Structure 1
């Protein structure tokens, strides 16, 4: 099958676009990377849960995304990951400083071996001001590098702005 990377800013409509693409499949597994670390994040998670069909399977995987993809993989189904920036945040804040590089490499290694259609959602964070803190600068740099590597590996890349998808790359043969 193919893999699609959907990028966009906050509230750009990228999750809605990903869900619309995934809804064409009879079987969808959403791999959620968020953790309800505070009340506001818990509300966001609840809102996202309400926005998707009840028959979709949900797997929570805040750290080990490649393993979750491999376990949920099946021909003819769709695996929707929402979102990579939260996943990267979780990895950056983990006690094991090597986890980010290991898990990023594992994700890129597993993608071409998956039978399912894969849709990856991520925030484009590189268009704003340079962050003030070292951690925030590292986060923006790591996410930017991840996006470049995934864009090269995925057959389709879309940028969503104001709810409108712009196809940046399409090697799938479809429009």
Structure 2
């Protein structure tokens, strides 16, 4: 199996990860021969502050980029954009996973009557995402938050989210040729040629 042309950019809130990923995509798409498809995972602003964040991201993106809003079907959105020449930028896994675990308007069911995690399609969707990334012919840049460096959160649902995102980040990093950790706006190469 060949390694996909996958770059994974991680970082905390306001670490510069989205801007860095956008710069990578711009460098890839130096001509119309290699356009960019930006797959956005933030579908619902929810409040004025988050709406302002979305507007800030939109204003920063070049107008000629193709924008796809992906809900839970991120794997399908990647497959649909994957034509072998388009640079695909996914921003971000953090919001996508939140929407998968706790869809808008739905109450999460944390445990069943036997105190086991409630069944959902989170594992299947993560498997599908991993498969779509592994099959990609186009260069793909994926952005995610690194949220597992703090204290163990209170609440079973929050702990589950942190655990699932950590597992998902590990899976994507294992597939990626390049992994960059953003710290205070500075790219730190974790995996790839520059890490050697």
TM-score category, normalised to shorter length: over 0.9
1:132 & 1:6 partners in 2: Cα distance? 27
Residue from 112, 120, 124 that aligns with 2:146: 124
In the TM superposition, what is the alpha-carbon distance from 1:66 to its structure 2 partner?
0.5
Unaligned runs of 5+ in 1: none
Aligned residues: CA RMSD: 1.9
In the TM superposition, what is the alpha-carbon distance from 1:174 to its structure 2 partner?
10
Count of equivalent residues: 174
Deviations 1:36-82 (A, max 9, x none): 22222211111100011111110000211000000011122210000
TM-score by length of structure 1 reads: 0.93
Structure showing greater Rg: 2
1:134 aligns to 2:160 (yes or no): no
2:134 & 2:154 partners in 1: Cα distance? 37
Unaligned runs of 5+ in 2: 109-118
Instruction: Check whether the contact 2:41–2:69 (CA below 8 A) recurs between aligned residues.
Output: yes
Alignment of 1:1-175 (within 5 A): 2-24=5-27, 25=29, 26=31, 27-35=35-43, 36-94=45-103, 97-170=119-192
| Range moving further from structure 2, 153-162 or 33-42 | 33-42
Cross-structure match for 2:116: none
After TM superposition, which residue ranges in structure 1, 4 or more long, deviate above 6 angstroms?
none
2:155 & 2:57 partners in 1: Cα distance? 29
2:12 & 2:132 partners in 1: Cα distance? 26
SS in 1 for 2:39: strand
SS in 1 for 2:129: helix
1:48 & 1:153 partners in 2: Cα distance? 27
Instruction: Check whether the contact 2:189–2:195 (CA below 8 A) recurs between aligned residues.
Output: no
